[in-house]
Amino acid sequence: MRLFSCIFLLLTINKSFANSVIIKPSIFTIHSSNGKDWMYQEKVINVFGFGISSFINNENWKLTFDYLQIGLLGNVNQDIYNFSPQQSYAYIDQSKDAEGFWTEHINTKLSYNFNNFIIELGKFNRHWGNGVRSLYISDKAPSYPQIGFKYKLNQKLSYLYFHGFLNSNIPDSSRSSYYKNNFSQRSISIPRSIAAHRIEWKPNDKFIFSFNESVIYATRSIDIYYLIPILPFYPIENYIGDTDNIQMGVDILFRINELQKTYVSFFMDEFTPEWIFKSKNHNWFGWQFGYNMKDAILKNSEFQIEYNWTDQRIYMHKYDINDFYNHQHPLGFWAGPHAKELLFNYITYFGDRILKFHFSKTKRGLNTREMVEDNYQDLQLKRYEKGYEERALVSISFKTPSNIKDLRYSIDLNYINFKNAGFEVSNNQLFNGIDIEKISIDFGLFYNFSIKNNYN
């Protein structure tokens, strides 16, 4: 029924204003022989889905739409992708009529382009930053409804703003009582929102500087103060009572030449200016360093190396309603706070075929509400003092089109090494995890499948 509703909506829009319309069915299926890095257990996982993919536009308007019903079979639970950069689901439900689980995915964006001003509305992900990963705004968490714009003032300066609506996963008992009777009950979450703006400055062909500011706030659906794009959030947050969660960041990209570039990103949480140079302060950081080179060794290739590091105190707030999360997944770096990752990518293109070598080693430590309380009292523990888990992934993947238009195949060979797998990073019941080493072979089939960070 939902699928037919989506098709009807697209056809209505087509009749209303579109000059160009593309609507196609989307189908995919993936067989993972040993669960890749999606779960640490050594069991088969099958993920499959079907839906529609569309693109509609005219001179000024553009609509992209992707909807999928997704099924999962095998060793699946709510923790799937918990220690993987794979985009997480908003929810997973057990099937009522068959084995397995199901969920759904919808990304849609309506944009209006008027000269140098672009307005965007929909439910989609953003990626702010120059790296493979992002410390600031990434696509690890499920996509969320938002509205925003990008204004290109001139060839050197652009301004971005958006306001998004998140899921706090914290029950609102005052409203949930209205959705409860003798045979049904639903939980309503307390509203959580994000507002963010970004200035991108390109003084010359060598450098690009970006300056970010965001705020997480809750308990009200919309705050009028944060809907004023030109206001800085830091003084406004103090003006309205210092209850919200402010973040700031800087990205710097340097183009060494036409084939090489390097970049650094800096994320700051809980900015307290008068304590900047004190050993105990509330200025908590995340760092990213990266290097990218095209045509490395082979023509039509790309080499990437990147290091990400997050302080154990960022993304979390003294009021958990204001955590930098959506559906319990971080909006920034995929592994969350108290983590680090070193990754290498080498990608070669043979026409429409792609061969990719990937290495990632990630480590993350304990992250509990008790630690948050200690952090605000400057009683934080040493890094990884209470334990940690590690994940190493080495993979070779090959993607190739078939003789059928819009149909692609993929095959991945993955070596995964988990240390202390199952370590409970979010509670105080320290679980002595287990070490697991496994090889997983994955086969995929994709037809009109264009969702950026899902599986392919």
What pLDDT, in 10s, does the model give residues 100-111?
899 999 999 999
Cβ–Cβ < 8 Å for 220, 152: no
Q: Regarding beta strands 329-330 and 207-218, do their DSSP bridges make them parallel or antiparallel, or are they unpaired? A: unpaired
Residue 150, pLDDT > 90, answer: yes
Vertex 411: Cα angle to 126 and 409 (nearest 5): 75
**Taking the model in full, what pTM does it have?**
0.90
How far, in Å, are 223, 275, 277, 318 from residue 376 at the CA level? 26, 13, 17, 7
DSSP, residue by residue, 123-145: EE---BSSSSS-SSB-SSSPPEE
What is the distance between the alpha carbons of residues 101 and 77, in angstroms, rounded to a whole number? 8
Give the DSSP letter of residue 88: P
pLDDT value of position 164: 97
Reduce the DSSP state of residue 287 to 3 states and report it.
Answer: strand
Sequence-ordered list of residues with C-beta below 8 angstroms from that of 281, at least 6 positions apart, any chain: 272, 275
Furthest-apart CA pair in the chain: how many Å? Answer: 68
pLDDT value of position 390: 94
Mean pLDDT on 386-404? 93
Nearest in space to 347 (alpha carbons), one of 403, 305, 310, 378: 305
pLDDT value of position 454: 47
Q: Which residues pair with 73 in a beta bridge?
A: 46
Residue 367, pLDDT > 90, answer: no
Residue 49, pLDDT > 50, answer: yes
| pLDDT (tens digit per residue) in 53-82 | 888 888 889 999 999 999 999 888 878 898
Mean pLDDT on 138-159? 95
Element at 443 (helix H, strand E): strand 434-447
pLDDT value of position 279: 61
Task: Tell me which of 4-8, 80-84, 139-143 is least confident.
Answer: 4-8
Q: Which residues pair with 304 in a beta bridge?
A: 292, 345
What is the distance between the alpha carbons of residues 241 and 232, in angstroms, rounded to a whole number? 15
Cβ–Cβ < 8 Å for 417, 391: yes
pLDDT value of position 451: 46
What is the distance between the alpha carbons of residues 387 and 379, in angstroms, rounded to a whole number? 17
Cβ–Cβ < 8 Å for 62, 50: no
Cβ–Cβ < 8 Å for 248, 213: yes
* Sequence-ordered strand ranges (E) for 115-244: 117-124, 144-152, 157-171, 189-201, 207-218
Both tokens of 396, joined, read 């070779």
How far, in Å, are 136, 195, 272, 286, 381 from residue 268 at the CA level? 10, 16, 10, 7, 19
Count of other CB atoms within 10 angstroms of residue 309? 16
What is the distance between the alpha carbons of residues 361 and 418, in angstroms, rounded to a whole number? 10
Cβ–Cβ < 8 Å for 189, 179: no
Both tokens of 160, joined, read 């971005």
Mean pLDDT on 382-402? 92
* Length in residues, the chain: 456
Type of residue at 339: A
Reduce the DSSP state of residue 14 to 3 states and report it.
Answer: helix
Cβ–Cβ < 8 Å for 322, 347: no
| Residue spans of alpha helices (H) in 1-124 | 2-17
Residue 453, pLDDT > 50, answer: no
